[in-house]
A and B are shown apart, each in its own frame.
Chain A
Amino acid sequence: QKEVEQNSGPLSVPEGAIASLNCTYSDRGSQSFFWYRQYSGKSPELIMSIYSNGDKEDGRFTAQLNKASQYVSLLIRDSQPSDSATYLCAVVASGTYKYIFGTGTRLKVLA
């Protein structure tokens, strides 16, 4: 069973701080990785996609991928109360069309 693991949290950070969210995966052949944000009662919305080792930055968000260690992380700089949500990590299982989701990390940004 291919798995994606996330700490469920809640992760609490003060406003303006950096929030660091982590995800590990078991399928060594996976090539595509995604971070989604989900507000309570709403559907997930894409934040970042990453395919190569290293960092990818988009505004206040940076995704980091390390395939050798099988982890992907998301950094949120200058965290705002509006960033308070559950963050889902998704990995495409190798050789398939299946996206495997972690259970999500709940982030609370304290004003």
Chain B
Amino acid sequence: DGGITQSPKYLFRKEGQNVTLSCEQNLNHDAMYWYRQDPGQGLRLIYYSQIVNDFQKGDIAEGYSVSREKKESFPLTVTSAQKNPTAFYLCASSPGPHQPQHFGDGTRLSIL
């Protein structure tokens, strides 16, 4: 079955620690995205990538980093510079800019 796999489902971060959220897709989509969702809020764009080895900052990129070395993979690192990382993180992909996005099941990140 084609889809987007995010792991882990739950993640806990200690103070000063960097953590990496995994996102893998087998839909052969060119574009991939990371969103953050806080309780009762909409989706805010962190980073997106249109093609391999290229990515752009979204609206709330500070404290986050990404890489896109393979078409299938778009990992997100939440660095210690992100002071309020507790949120629901969603990875999405789309074939192109006017096509619907498909979402993974999300990773819920909390601070220990």
Please tell me if B97 contacts chain A, counting CB pairs below 8 Å: yes
A48 to chain B, nearest CB (A): 9
Chain B interface size, under 10 / 10 to 19 / 20 to 34 / 35 or more? 20 to 34
Please tell me if A103 contacts chain B, counting CB pairs below 8 Å: yes
A60 to chain B, nearest CB (A): 19
Segment of B14-22, B38-46, B77-85 in the binding face: B38-46
Interface positions of A from 70 to 93, Cβ below 8 Å from B: 88, 90, 92
Please tell me if A69 contacts chain B, counting CB pairs below 8 Å: no
- Complex CA gap A76/B103 in Å reads 23
Most buried by B among A92, A97, A101, A103: A97
CB–CB A44/B45 < 8 A: no
Q: Which residues of B contact A51 (CB under 8 A)?
A: 98
Q: A34-B100, A45-B103 are in contact. Are A97 and B42 (CB under 8 A)?
A: no
CB–CB A103/B42 < 8 A: yes
Q: Taking CB as reference atom, which chain A residue is nearest B96?
A: A97
Q: Taking CB as reference atom, which chain A residue is nearest B104?
A: A43
- Complex CA gap A49/B25 in Å reads 21
CB–CB A92/B104 < 8 A: no
Contact count A vs B, C-beta below 8 Å:
50
Q: Which residues of A contact B104 (CB under 8 A)?
A: 43
Which one, A31, A32, A88, A97, contacts B43 given CB within 8 A? A88
- Complex CA gap A14/B33 in Å reads 37
- Complex CA gap A2/B55 in Å reads 20
- 15 A-B pairs (CB sep. < 8 Å): A31-B98, A34-B100, A42-B106, A43-B90, A43-B105, A43-B106, A46-B102, A51-B98, A88-B42, A92-B97, A92-B98, A96-B97, A97-B50, A99-B101, A101-B42
User: Residues of B at under 8 Å CB distance from A?
Assistant: 31, 33, 35, 40-45, 48, 50, 58, 90, 92, 94, 97-106
